[in-house]
Structure 1
């Protein structure tokens, strides 16, 4: 069997998931990957056969989206040509993890596909949303990478086609400890937006992962790390808690490890607002605006006693078998 797997490379979660799935997919057949987008920071250790600049998110300085940068980097003609050139007819199965080019290519070439991943879960009305829905956000979630078939991943099984999160082997097999530090992963924030708040909490040790850091360095109570999967896994496994965005993979791993979480969804990022709504239902505190009192928010969070529901790791062979069975129906 020949398998085409499209990865959305906006952020690192899709790449991390594909890397975990790859050895399992190989048991079903030969896998070629298509990497679409240009602002992930993880090294990609996968057989990437096709690449495209695609459509990527860009962030403002302190926790929001930069719509101007997003718009000016979209090249519709190039995306159309890329979609036209993908040889999807050469593949038995097309798996799409939220990539618009692959979705377009399937329509143009009348090729079958299945949307697989977190965003696929939003096809269901049962999947949590914020109190105020965004019409544009709903359209993007449902039509940006549309497919006739869907297999979703989420914190809980909100619908029959939604499965547990893909948790990396390193996390599943880990023996978590509490070494008291706080792991920080907030790619939409630049250093000077939050550094002052962390410095005020001089008795708290922070492990802060930043895209523009080249090597590990400690200044006061903050150790700065480059975005590196191995280093991040170690920090998360041994942390007291994590401050992160409203993404999916990192909170899922933290919930699996039973770590404290403080979530700061990216402003005006509808999917992250939806994830934040789901996290709030599970008891996770969510901060929508970071102001001068952020150090107090962190301190109150650290002093709070919370018990989150422990989530289960995905049974990957079972889910992939379900995927291929669904595809062939």
Structure 2
């Protein structure tokens, strides 16, 4: 079986999922080529697992400071004409299946040519009805329009009575430890000066901040570091807590490592707002409101850490399911994995 795997590279979570699926698909005997879109290739990092991967412009999003989508910047930064040309010119000869992690070029090219397509991404959970107020028919329509696939597999922290799989993340690579004063921070759209203003007063703690830098720098108790997947996970394993946006991937890893989480959803992003609401219902995180509140941070810093909660081998199960011709339904696959993990509790 030969697969073209398309990855939306605007967010690191999509790429991280592909990193987890790559060895699982290889172990299942599947031949895979990778295509990434939505980010300048020069800004990609730690891409060695993907071999001779391809890049396309695709569709991307521009963000304002604080993470709100910059609508004019997004409209000006995308070219529907170029997207159409990339879809039309993508060569799918020799492939048996396209997998799309919310990547529009591969998804639409497969649909145009009648090639079977499978979507694997957190975003596809919005095809189902979830608890809360931040999803509806408009969200579902937008998801289907962005990266349409024949069969969609959604991932979430709970199945909510739907055919939804647990998070697709790698098992912990480093032993869990605890440096009581070390807080890991990933808020890539917050200005660094703003982060300094937030964290400087908490001088009893060290804040390790990963952001877009070529070289690291330390200012008092705030340690700014350039992006590094390996370095980030080492710090995740040893920190006393994580402050991040409400993205699905890192929040899942935080739960797996047994670290407390202070989550700041991007305003105006339905996915992030939905995640934040469900984190609260599931007791996974403390959620920041619109503005940073020093008292909330102080209270959160005093909280204990939860127990680590490793997820089942979703990547291995998916890879074997794909290699075997997807004979089971998604619902059957989901039931097997949730039976292995257990039943998460939902509040309210």
State the TM-score, normalizing by the size of structure 2: 0.86
RMSD after superposition: 2.2
**Matched position secondary structure for 1:235:** helix
Distance 1:9 1:286, change over 3 A: same
Q: Which moved more, 1:261-270 or 1:55-64?
A: 55-64
Where 2:200 maps in the other structure, the secondary structure is helix
Which residue of 94, 99, 104 corresponds with 1:95? 99
Deviations for 1:44-85, whole angstroms, at most 9, x for unmatched residues? 221344321111122112232212211111111111111111
State the match for 1:121 in structure 2: 125
Q: How many residues align?
A: 322
Listed as ranges, the gaps of 5+ residues in structure 2 are 329-348
SS at match of 1:200: coil
Offset at residue 256 of structure 1 (A): 0.5
For the 8 Å contact 1:282–1:308, the answer to whether it is kept is no
**Aligned 8 A contact 2:98 2:107 in 1:** no
Distance 1:316 1:185, change over 3 A: same
Q: How far does residue 327 in structure 1 lie from its aligned partner after superposition?
A: 4.5
Q: 2:164 aligns with which of 155, 162, 165?
A: 162
Q: Is the 8 A contact 1:88 1:106 kept in 2?
A: yes
1:58 corresponding residue in structure 2: 62
In the alignment, is the contact (CA less than 8 A) between 2:126 and 2:139 conserved in 1?
Answer: no
Which stretches in structure 1 are left out of the alignment for 5+ residues?
Answer: none
What is the CA distance between 1:94 and its match in structure 2?
1.0
Q: Does structure 2 conserve the Cα–Cα contact (< 8 Å) formed by 1:61 and 1:193? A: no
Alignment-derived partner of residue 29 in structure 1? 30
Q: 2:90 aligns to what?
A: 86
- For residue 90 of structure 1, give the secondary structure of its aligned residue in structure 2: coil
1:88-143 alpha-carbon deviations (Å, 9 max, x no partner): 24201211110122222122112210111211222221x34x42546543322233
Distance 1:308 1:271 in 2: 26
1:162 counterpart SS class: coil
In structure 2, relative to structure 1, the CA distance for the partners of 1:220 and 1:49 (3 Å cut) is: closer
Q: Following TM superposition, by how much is the alpha carbon of 1:15 offset from its aligned partner in structure 2, in angstroms? A: 1.0
Alpha-carbon offset, residue 179 of structure 1? 0.4
Q: Distance in 1 between matches of 2:137 and 2:163?
A: 24
Partner of 1:87: helix, strand, or coil?
A: coil
Counterpart secondary structure, 2:286:
coil
Give how far 1:287 is off. 1.3
Query: 1:6-53: CA deviations, max 9, x gaps?
Result: 000011111111112112212322111111111665332213443211
CA contact (8 A) 2:8 2:103 kept: yes
Q: Which residue of 2 aligns with 1:144?
A: 146
Q: Within 1, Cα distance between the matches of 2:305 and 2:232?
A: 24
Matched, 1:42 2:45: yes
Would you say 1:262 and 2:262 are equivalent positions? yes
Mean Cα displacement is larger for which, 304-313 or 13-22?
304-313
1:252-284 CA-to-partner distances (Å, cap 9, x unmatched) read 000001100011111111111111122111211
Distance (Å, rounded) in 2 between the aligned partners of 1:161 and 1:326: 18
- Which residue is 1:3 aligned to? 3
Q: Deviations over 1:172-197 (max 9, x none)?
A: x4211110210000112121222111
3-state DSSP of counterpart to 2:287: coil
Matches of 2:140 and 2:100, distance apart in 1: 19
